[in-house]
Structure 1
Amino acid sequence: MLCSFVVLYLLIVLPEPGLGKQPNILFILADDFGYNDVSWNNEDVFTPNLEKLGREGVILDTYYASTRCSPSRGALLTGLYPHRLGIQRGNIGTFRPTGLVTDFKTFPEILQAAGYTTHLVGRWHLGYCHPSYLPTRRGFTTFFGQFSQQTDHYSRIYLENEEIGEGYDLRRGENISYEGAGKYSTHLWRDEAQSLIEGWNSSNSTPWFLQVSFTAAGAPYQVPESYVKRYKKRRFRNLSEEDTIRYGMISAVDSAVGDIVKTLKQRNMFENTVLVFSSDNGVGGDVGNLPFRGSRGTLWEGGVRVPALVSSPLLNLDEGYTTRSMVHITDWFPTLLKLAGVSSDVQTDGFNIWEALQQREEFSRNSLVYSLDQDDKSGHLQHGIREKNIKFVWGNPDKFEVNKRFKKDVYHLFDLEKDPTETENLASQYPELVEKMKEKVKTLVKDVKPAFQPNRYSLGYPKYHDGVISTGWCETDWWKILWRSLN
C-alpha cells in the first residue's frame, strides 16, 4: 500500500478482542549503536541476550532513527518527525537554552491518562534549562538519570574545561542524587530498572511503561575490564583500542538487558510485556556502521539505519523472523498506543505496525523523511527523503553546518535496493526522477518548523550552580517567536 508523506491523524481504538489486559511496555534505547554493532549483523560482536530476544521476536533490519540523539528521542516521544519539532538540526547540548516543545503531548503523558505509570531510567537529553522541559514535567511518573549529554560513566561528572567547571549530573525526580557513587553507568541503570520491576506486583492491574535509556555506548569510552577481555583476543587484533572498549560497552548493555528480562520473568511479568530495543543513531566512527556509508550526524545510511527489534509473547509467533520492511522510530508511537488501548486523536508521522508484525506482512510505510532543514541565516539546506527504494538528498548529505554558502542544485540519488552502500550517485542519469523528488520535498517543507539550536549560555555553566548541571536559567516558549511567521 502506498503511503503519503502528509502527516496522519490517527484515531486509536481499544485493543482487539483477545489481547487481554493492557500490556506493560519496556523500551530499551541504546546510545550510538550502529548497524554493525549487534551479533546478528556482525558475528564478532557479543550480544547474545539481544539476539535471543530478536530471534524469538522480530528483528527490524531496515529500521531508521534520526541523525542525532535529541531528534530521535523527540521523535520517539511525540511520534513526529524532528522537523515538525524544530530539533532536526542536532542535539540539545549541554548549556543550550532550549528543550522539546511543550505544546506537543508526549507518549508517556498519553499513557498516564490511560492509567499507566511511566518511568524513565538513564538519559533524557531533551532539554533541562527550564523546569517545564524536565522529564517529570513531560509525562514520566518517576525519573532516575541524567538531564543532559554524556558524563563520565563512573563519576557522573561532565567536564569540558576548567573555565566552565565540572558539572555533576544525576537526578532522582528533580532532586540531585548521589546514589551508586562510582558504579558503572550501565550497571546503575540496570539496577534501577530491576528495582522498579521488583517493586511492582505482577497481579496488579496497573500497567507500566519503562524506558531504559542507556548512556552506553556513547563516549567517553569506558567499561569494566571483564567486558573487553574477549575483544582483546587475537581474532580482534585489528580493532583499535577505542573500538575494543566500545564493543565492551555494547556487551555490557547486552548483559544488562539480559538481567532486566530475567527479573521480568522471575516476577511473572514477561508474558504481558512488549519489549522494544532501538538505537538512537549511528556511531561517530565508521566501523560500527558497516557496511553502510557515513556516521552519526549525517544523512548517509550509516548515520540513521540502526539495529532494532521487538520481542513479546503477545506477538503470538510460532517462531521469530527478520523483516526488511521499512520502519521509522516514529512508528512506535501509534503502535504502542494502540496496544495500550488508548482512545485519542493523535497527530503522528508513524504507522501502527503491530498487526503486520504478527502476520509477517509488509508494512504500510514505504516512504520516510530522513531530515528537512534549512539555515535561516544563509539559506544552506539539507533535505533527505526516501520513497520505496529511492533515496534523495538535496544539499549536503554530511553533517549540517550553519552559515555556509548555499550550494545550488546539489543532489544525490540512490537506488538502495541495488546500492545500499550509496556508492553511485544517479542524479545526473535520471534528471526527471530528481525533479519528481524535488517536488515532493517542496511539498514537505511547508510543514518544516525553523530549527532552534542556539549557542550555549554561560548562565548554565556548573561553576555558577555549585558544580551541578541545573535547571532554571533560561526562558521557555521560544517557538512562539520562531514559528510566528508560520501562523
Structure 2
Amino acid sequence: MNKLISVFSCFALLLFFSGTKPHFSAPAKAPNILLIMADDMGFADIGCYGSEVATPNLDRLAAKGIRFRQFYNNARCCPTRASLLTGVYPHQAGIGHMSNDPEDSTSFNYNLPGYQGSLNNKCVTIAEVLKTKGYQTLMSGKWHVGYHGEQRWPMQRGFDKYYGLLAGATNYFNPSGGRGLMLMNEKVKPQGENFYLTDAITDYAVKFLDENKKESKAPFFMYLAYTSPHWPLNALEADVKKYRGQYKKGWKALRQARYEKMKALGVIDKNAGLSDADGADWDELSAAKQDEMDHRMALYAAQIDRMDQNIGRVIKQLETSGELDNTLIFFLSDNGACAEGGLLGGGLPENLGTKLGYLLSYGQSWANVSNTPFKKFKHWVHEGGISTPLIVHWPKAIPQGRLGKFTDQYGFLPDIMATIVDVSKAQYPSTYKGNEIVPLQGKSLLPLIYGKETPVHTAPVFWEHEGNAAVRQGNLKLVSEYHTGQPVQWELYDISKDRSELNNLAATMPQKVAELSAAYQNWARYVGVIPYSEVIKIREGKRKAPKTGI
C-alpha cells in the first residue's frame, strides 16, 4: 500500500513540475480581449518601464499584471500592425515594407506578393478568427494596413464596428482630407471645437464597449490603436504645462536618470550596459534652442500622458460594467522611438504648442532617451528599433504570486494572435473564404501568463525592414544594418549578457554567424523578402518586379 501511495505521489510531483496542468482554474466564461497599441513610443517612455512621464493607469495594469523585459515588434508602423493583426510575418501578410498612402495609390505597392501595401488574402485577422467564436469585434484608432479600396478596410477584415483613421498619421486637432476620420465605412468630420484625436479614439472605444454590454452581451475583442505619441507634436495645453521646463537639463542627464530608474525597477539588469549617446551636444545649443527642445519633449510627454489618461477611461468603463476581471489586456508599442526629423526634430518651431503643423517631431536626440539603454531607432532592427514594453493584465488568470512581476522569456508579434486563439479556443484556419492561409507563425504566451517560466521560442525568429535584418535564437541575436551598395556586415550578440548590443561576438563565433545567417536566408526566401537594393530600383521604376512570394 505504501509503495502504491509512493507511486501516486511521484506521479503527482511529475505533473506539477512538468507544468502539464496549471495550479489554478482558467476563467469558465470566454474572456474579453483588449489590445492596446501606442504609436512610435520608445521602450523607456512609460513610468513602469523607467520614464518620468506620469502613466498611473499603465502602471496600475503592470502592478496587477506581468511585464515583459523582452518583447519585439517589427520596427515600423505598417509591418508591425500587419504582423500583430494576422499572426504571420509582415511579408507573408503583404506588407513587407509599408502600406500605400492616401495621396498615392501606387506608393509602397510594388506588384510583389510580399510588398503589395495592404493585407492580402493569404492571412486572417484576429477579428476574422474571433468572429467564428461569437465575439463582437471592435476597433478604434489607426489602421494603416490598407487604404485604397474598401475591401482593405477594417470592417471588410472582420471588425463589426470601426472609428479612426485609415492612414498612418494626422493632425490631432484637425484630421482632414485623406488623413481624415472614418466611422464604420463612412468618412466623418471631427466634432466640436475642442476635438482631440486621442480623446475621440477613446470616446468611440467606450461607446462601442457600452453598446456591446447593453445590446450584444457577447465577449468582445477591442483593438484600441492610438496614434499617440507619433508626430505631429500636438498636445493639449493643460498636459504640456506639467512637463514644460522639466527637460532643460538636456537629453544626456535625462537618459542617465532613466537608466538608473530602469535598473532600480528591474526593467533591465543592474549590470546592463548603456549604449553610447546618439544625439547633439546639449551644452552647445543656445538658450533659445534649449528652450525649444524642452518644449518639443514636453509636447511628446504630454501626448503619452494624455494617452494614459484615456486608457484610464477605458479601464473605468470595464470596471463599471463588471468586465475588467475577465478581460485579457495587452499593451505594447508598434516600434522603437522615432528619430525622424534629424537630431533636433522637424517642423517649424513657431508651430509648437499650436494646433498647426504636421511634420513636427522631437528628433533623434530625444528619441535616444526614449530608447534607453538601447541603440538605434524606428526603422532599424537593433534593440532600440524593435523592443517594446509589453504589459499583460488578466486578473482572473494570472496567479497572485506573479502580479507585478517581470518575465525574461522573449516573444514577438505573432505570439499575440497565437495567445488569443489559445484563450478563446478559436480555430486558426488553413483556408478562409476560399483562400489558403499562411500557417500561424507565433506561439501562445498563455504558459507565461499562467506562471510557467519556460522559453516560448526554441526555433529562430526573424526580422527584415528596409534591408535591416536580424535573427534571434535563444540568447544569441544576429543583426545587420543596411547600407546602400555595401555588403552585409553581420553583428552577433549574447542578449542574455549584452542586451544593449555593445560586445560584437561575430569575429569570435564565425560558425554561429554562418549558421544563423543561413537560417535567415532560408527564411527570407520562404516569406518573399526582396533585397532592399532591388526594392528601391523597383520603386523608382528602374527594374520590373520579379515573380516571387509565398
Change (3 A) 1:382 1:178: closer
Matched, 1:428 2:440: no
SS of residue matched to 1:441: helix
Residue in 1 aligned with 2:337?
A: 283
SS of residue matched to 1:200: helix
SS of residue matched to 1:359: coil
8 Å CA contact 1:121–1:145 kept in 2: the answer is: yes
Between structures 1 and 2, the one with greater strand share: 1
8 Å CA contact 1:90–1:297 kept in 2: the answer is: no
Q: Aligned runs of 1:286-325 on 2, under 5 Å?
A: 286-318=368-400, 319-325=403-409
Most deviating of 343-352 and 67-76: 343-352
Higher RCO by CA contacts (8 Å cutoff, separation 6 or greater): 1
CA distance in structure 2 between the aligned counterparts of 1:151 and 1:280, rounded to whole angstroms: 17
Residue in 1 aligned with 2:204?
A: 192
Deviation, 1:100, is 1.4
Deviation, 1:364, is 2.0
8 Å CA contact 1:385–1:392 kept in 2: the answer is: yes
CA distance in structure 1 between the aligned counterparts of 2:248 and 2:135, rounded to whole angstroms: 45
Residue in 2 aligned with 1:73?
A: 81
CA distance in structure 2 between the aligned counterparts of 1:382 and 1:111, rounded to whole angstroms: 33
Most deviating of 16-25 and 288-297: 16-25
Deviation, 1:279, is 0.5
Deviation, 1:455, is 5.3
| Equivalent residue for 2:313, pick from 237, 259, 273 | 259
SS of residue matched to 1:195: helix
| Equivalent residue for 2:156, pick from 118, 125, 137 | 137
Residue in 2 aligned with 1:335?
A: 419
Q: TM-score under structure 1 normalisation? A: 0.82
SS of residue matched to 1:413: strand
CA distance in structure 1 between the aligned counterparts of 2:298 and 2:459, rounded to whole angstroms: 36
Residue in 1 aligned with 2:498?
A: 419
Deviation, 1:382, is 3.9
| Equivalent residue for 2:324, pick from 266, 270, 274 | 270
Change (3 A) 1:257 1:122: same
8 Å CA contact 1:202–1:267 kept in 2: the answer is: no
Change (3 A) 1:442 1:248: same
CA deviation profile, 1:362-419 (whole Å, cap 9, x unmatched): 2322455342368xxxxxx5431011121112xx425xx7xx32x3352111122222
Residue in 2 aligned with 1:161?
A: none
Q: Aligned runs of 1:475-486 on 2, under 5 Å?
A: 484-486=547-549
SS of residue matched to 1:287: helix
Code of the aligned partner of 1:354: L
Deviation, 1:357, is 1.6
CA distance in structure 2 between the aligned counterparts of 1:428 and 1:382, rounded to whole angstroms: 20
Code of the aligned partner of 1:269: E
Change (3 A) 1:202 1:366: farther
SS of residue matched to 1:145: strand
Residue in 1 aligned with 2:230?
A: 218
CA distance in structure 2 between the aligned counterparts of 1:429 and 1:450, rounded to whole angstroms: 29
Instruction: Give the share of equivalent positions with the same residue, in percent.
Output: 25
Residue in 2 aligned with 1:180?
A: 191
| Equivalent residue for 2:70, pick from 47, 52, 62 | 62
Code of the aligned partner of 1:131: E
CA distance in structure 2 between the aligned counterparts of 1:146 and 1:293, rounded to whole angstroms: 31
Change (3 A) 1:80 1:232: same
Residue in 1 aligned with 2:220?
A: 208
CA distance in structure 2 between the aligned counterparts of 1:252 and 1:456, rounded to whole angstroms: 40
Code of the aligned partner of 1:336: I
CA distance in structure 1 between the aligned counterparts of 2:455 and 2:511, rounded to whole angstroms: 28
Deviation, 1:92, is 4.1
Change (3 A) 1:37 1:373: closer
8 Å CA contact 2:329–2:394 kept in 1: the answer is: yes
Code of the aligned partner of 1:250: I
Deviation, 1:485, is 4.0
8 Å CA contact 2:337–2:371 kept in 1: the answer is: yes
Code of the aligned partner of 2:155: T
Deviation, 1:181, is 4.2
Code of the aligned partner of 2:301: Y
Residue in 2 aligned with 1:21?
A: 29
CA deviation profile, 1:393-451 (whole Å, cap 9, x unmatched): 2xx425xx7xx32x335211112222211123221222222112122223322312246
8 Å CA contact 2:68–2:406 kept in 1: the answer is: yes
Q: How many residues align?
A: 428
Code of the aligned partner of 2:183: R
| Equivalent residue for 2:42, pick from 17, 20, 34 | 34
8 Å CA contact 2:89–2:527 kept in 1: the answer is: no
SS of residue matched to 1:315: coil
Q: Aligned runs of 1:76-115 on 2, under 5 Å?
A: 76-94=84-102, 95-97=104-106, 98-115=117-134
8 Å CA contact 1:450–1:482 kept in 2: the answer is: no
Deviation, 1:44, is 1.2
Matched, 1:228 2:240: yes
SS of residue matched to 1:422: coil
Change (3 A) 1:360 1:243: farther
Change (3 A) 1:141 1:254: same
Between structures 1 and 2, the one with greater helix share: 2
8 Å CA contact 2:136–2:218 kept in 1: the answer is: yes
8 Å CA contact 1:63–1:326 kept in 2: the answer is: yes
Matched, 1:122 2:204: no
CA distance in structure 2 between the aligned counterparts of 1:340 and 1:90, rounded to whole angstroms: 30
Most deviating of 28-37 and 352-361: 352-361
Residue in 2 aligned with 1:45?
A: 53
Matched, 1:388 2:407: no
Structure with max Cα Rg: 2
Most deviating of 423-432 and 115-124: 423-432
Deviation, 1:314, is 2.3
Most deviating of 365-374 and 334-343: 365-374
Q: Aligned runs of 1:322-471 on 2, under 5 Å?
A: 322-345=406-429, 347-366=439-458, 368-372=460-464, 381-393=467-479, 396-397=480-481, 404-405=484-485, 407-450=486-529
Change (3 A) 1:127 1:18: closer
Change (3 A) 1:18 1:292: closer
Q: Aligned runs of 1:4-19 on 2, under 5 Å?
A: 18-19=26-27
CA distance in structure 2 between the aligned counterparts of 1:343 and 1:142, rounded to whole angstroms: 22
CA deviation profile, 1:80-106 (whole Å, cap 9, x unmatched): 011323423345444343311133111
CA distance in structure 2 between the aligned counterparts of 1:91 and 1:128, rounded to whole angstroms: 8
Residue in 1 aligned with 2:170?
A: 151
CA distance in structure 2 between the aligned counterparts of 1:210 and 1:483, rounded to whole angstroms: 39
Q: TM-score under structure 2 normalisation? A: 0.73
SS of residue matched to 1:228: helix
Deviation, 1:278, is 1.0
Code of the aligned partner of 2:158: G
